Copies of this chain bind each other. A is one copy, B any other.
Amino acid sequence: MDNLPKCGANYVSLTPLTFLTRASKCYANRTSIIYGNVRFTWRQTYERCCRVASSLRSLNIVKNDVVSVLAPNVPALYEMHFAVPMAGAVLNTINTRLDAKNIAIILKHSEAKVFFVDFEYLEIAKKALELLATSKMTRIPLVVVIDDIDSPTGIRLGELEYEQLVHQGNPSYVPEEITDEWDPITLNYTSGTTSEPKGVVYSHRGAFLSTLSLLLGWEMGTEPVYLWSLPMFHCNGWTFTWGVAARGGTNVCIRNTTAKEMYTNIVLHNVTHMCCAPIVFNILLEAKPHDEYSKPITTRVQILTGGAPPPAPLLEKIEKLGFHVVHAYGLTEATGPALLCEWQEKWNELPSENQAKLKSRQGVSILTLADVDVKNIDNMLSVPRDGKSIGEVCLRGSSIMKGYYKNDKANYEVFKNGWFFTGDVGVIHQDGYLEIKDRSKDVIISGGENISSIEVENVIMKHKNVVEASVVAMPHPKWGESPCAFVILTKNSQIKEVDIIGHCRSNLPGFMKSQIIKKAKIQVKSTEKNQDTMSKFLLCLVYNSNNILNVISQSED
């Protein structure tokens, strides 16, 4: 049976490009894209992508060349997810929040041949190109401006504009055949904080499998109306750039995730699905009571969230508005979400607080991931499934990146013994659900003991006047590191540091005590949103010999 040959009929490269070809045939006249007054059907989207791909070939783009783009969630960015690989090239979507320096670093490292820039980002793009020009041995990419397709501005930088490439392109272009599914499809740079950004390469195979996995995990059925609240530059929109085509859905493109843009589009187009970080819940919540455009939501909107566990109170509030939240965990290197908190029927009977707690866990592996484990780094053994034993989260499967581009050192560090090491620290509960405790680099090591910044954040977040809390490591002369908390209070809140400190004293979990933290400090910086002044407070956690927690505060201006 082994010598039955592979042929064109039974062994076809897995690539998300087939989703568009299929959509152009099966869903030809359904609406593919809505953006302001602009509408396209799947047949049109396919044709436009063929045109752009053929134009790229005319610009001498060949196989494996990199095409970079700096744009918000406009139709052109969506189309490029197909058009660029249809030309055989590799799409590099750049985070629009980066500064000119980082953009220049990415353009240089990726050796981008063409650089598409949305008209709103021309200033920063120009600066990046200037920086690039001062760099030695660097090829300056050809610039193509993406003007607003709904309200053209006429703003240009050089001669080329996106719609012109569409217009001049060949609608009957035959897309580059993907002969090897291991070929690269996209290149996504992870944001650098201390180090330079790393270029994560996805294969056609990985992108295809992740797309199917996420449709399955989120149970996104046919004909979704998908609001682009998650930037497409985030792991290619967690693969939903390709997934919406697979489902014959409608992409509702928006420039900004303001409450107005989101609510208007949700109500107008009966949005069924959207992805976002939990922070976006706040935008939706704060707008709700008083803004005229926030009409009641008539469809139940499914939200897939990730990036941080959604805090329980936020979950309860957002679901009351008509949103239904599913929580996923992932990272750029895993083509976006790798775990998803699959809901269980029996949990519906639990009190809402317990439900929120269960929902904030990262969950179980998506279907195309071959395995997930939490390993004790010292001995590389799996930790017990007890919800307590901490280890590093490891993944393996065909949805994991090909590797970092031109960075053997980084590849060597993350790929070990047939596993990809995420750098995240977590536990596995008895029911098989995984819960992240921290980024390994965010674990605060104070007096030789590990403090999970997420644990402390979660406690602070439970205070009813707290909107956001972020805990980071702060250098400390005696303890090495000490936790420092940044806290955003609700509007017009009158609470003081002493309230937060009292709250911490009452609520810091037994879990932390069990780690016998001898002495650690938490600095609470409280602030009100839209207010620049800050007052600082110092918070000392002292466990005495009986493991009783005492909290001592002192002012520190």
Nearest B residue (CB) for A248: B342
Flag if B4 contacts A403 (CB, 8 Å).
yes
Chain A, range 414-460, C-beta contacts under 8 Å to B: 415, 417-420, 431-433
- In the complex, whether A271 has a CB less than 8 A from a CB of chain B is no
Q: Which residues of B contact A184 (CB under 8 A)?
A: 1-2, 4
Tell me if A183 counts as interface (CB < 8 A to partner B): yes
- Contact, CB under 8 Å: A432 / B222: no
- Choose among A1, A183, A222 the residue with the greatest number of B CB atoms under 10 Å from its CB: A1
Interface residues of A in 1-52 (CB under 8 A from B): 1-2, 4-12, 14, 18-19, 21-22, 25-29
Contacts of A402 in B (CB 8 A): 1, 4, 10
A307 close to B (CB within 8 Å): no
A405 within 8 A of B: yes
Q: Flag A485-529 by CB within 8 Å of B: 1 or 0 each.
A: 000000000000000000000000000000000000000000000
- Docked Cα-Cα span, A5 to B203, in Å, equals 11
Contacts A216-B212, A370-B18 hold; do A1 and B405 have CB atoms under 8 A apart?
yes
> How many monomers of this chain does the complex have?
2
Contacts of A18 in B (CB 8 A): 370-371
Contacts of A365 in B (CB 8 A): 22, 26
Name which residue of chain B comes closest to A339, CB basis.
B26
Asked whether, in the complex, the Cβ of B4 is within 8 Å of the Cβ of A201, the reply is: yes
CB atoms of B342 and A222 under 8 A apart: yes
Q: Which of B8, B219, B248, B364 contacts A26 (CB 8 A)?
A: B364
Q: Is A215 an interface residue (CB 8 A)?
A: yes
Nearest CB of B to A93, in Å: 16
A14 & B216 in contact (Cβ 8 Å cutoff): no
Q: Which of B216, B343, B345, B398 contacts A10 (CB 8 A)?
A: B398
Decide: B201 and A403 in contact? CB cutoff 8 A.
Answer: no
| A400 / chain B contacts, CB cutoff of 8 Å | 9-10
Residues on B with C-beta less than 8 A from A219 are 219, 221-222
Question: Per-residue CB proximity of A352-378 to B under 8 Å, as 1/0?
Answer: 000000000000110110110000000
A460-489 Cβ-contact flags toward B at 8 Å (1 or 0) = 000000000000000000000000000000
- List chain B residues, Cβ under 8 A from A343: 222
Cα of A431 to Cα of B21 in the assembled complex, Å: 14
Is A103 positioned at the interface, with any CB of B under 8 Å from its CB?
no
Whether a CB of chain B sits under 8 angstroms from the CB of A313 is no
Contact A7 B418 (CB under 8 A): yes
Bound CA–CA A5/B408 (angstroms):
11
Given the known interface contacts A7-B415, A11-B398, the answer about A371 and B182 at a Cβ–Cβ threshold of 8 Å is no
Q: Is the CB of A9 within 8 A of B396?
A: yes
Closest to A5 in B: B403
Provide the bound-state CA to CA distance between A11 and B368, in Å. Answer: 11
> Taking the complex as formed, is A223 at the interface, i.e. its CB lies under 8 A from any CB of chain B?
yes
Check A64 for interface membership: any CB of B closer than 8 A: yes
Q: How many Å from the CB of A492 to the closest CB on chain B? A: 43
Is A206 a contact of B10 with CB atoms below 8 Å? yes
Q: Which of B182, B246, B344, B364 contacts A367, CB < 8 Å?
A: B246
Alpha-carbon gap, A64 to B206, bound state (A): 28
Inter-chain contact A431/B9, CB cutoff 8 Å: no
> Is A71 on the interface with B (CB-CB < 8 A)?
no
Closest B residue, CB atoms, query A404: B4
Write out the residue numbers on chain B whose beta carbons fall within 8 Å of the beta carbon of A397: 10, 12
Looking across the interface, which residue of chain B has its beta carbon closest to that of A416?
A: B9
Shortest distance between the CB of A11 and any CB in chain B (Å): 6
Given A182-B6, A364-B26, A419-B8, A14 contacting B90 (CB threshold 8 A):
no
Contact between chains at B398 and A12 (CB < 8 Å): yes
Are A367 and B212 in touch, CB under 8 angstroms? yes
B1 touches A90 (CB 8 A): yes
Query: Which residues of chain B have C-beta atoms less than 8 A from A405's C-beta?
Result: 1, 4
Per-residue interface assignment for chain A, residues 319 to 345, with 1 indicating a CB less than 8 Å from any chain B CB and 0 otherwise: 000000000000000000000001111
**Cβ–Cβ contact B364 & A432, under 8 A:** no
A187 within 8 A of B: yes
Assembled-state Cα–Cα distance A335/B353 (Å): 45
Q: Are B2 and A64 in touch, CB under 8 angstroms?
A: yes
Of the candidates B14, B212, B403, B415, the one whose C-beta lies within 8 Å of that of A398 is B14
* Residue of A90, A370, A398 contacting most chain B CB atoms (<10 Å): A370
> Given A8-B417, A212-B367, A222-B344, list of 17 further CB < 8 A pairs?
A1-B187, A4-B403, A6-B182, A8-B419, A9-B395, A10-B397, A10-B401, A10-B402, A12-B396, A12-B397, A26-B364, A28-B431, A28-B432, A212-B216, A215-B216, A222-B342, A223-B345
- Mark A residues whose CB is within 8 Å of B: 1-2, 4-12, 14, 18-19, 21-22, 25-29, 64, 90, 182-184, 187, 201, 206, 209, 212, 215-216, 219, 221-223, 246, 248, 342-345, 364-365, 367-368, 370-371, 395-398, 400-403, 405, 411, 415, 417-420, 431-433
22 contacts between A and B (CB under 8 A): A1-B187, A4-B402, A4-B403, A7-B418, A8-B418, A8-B419, A9-B400, A9-B419, A10-B397, A10-B398, A18-B370, A22-B364, A26-B342, A27-B432, A212-B212, A212-B216, A216-B216, A219-B219, A222-B342, A222-B343, A222-B344, A246-B367
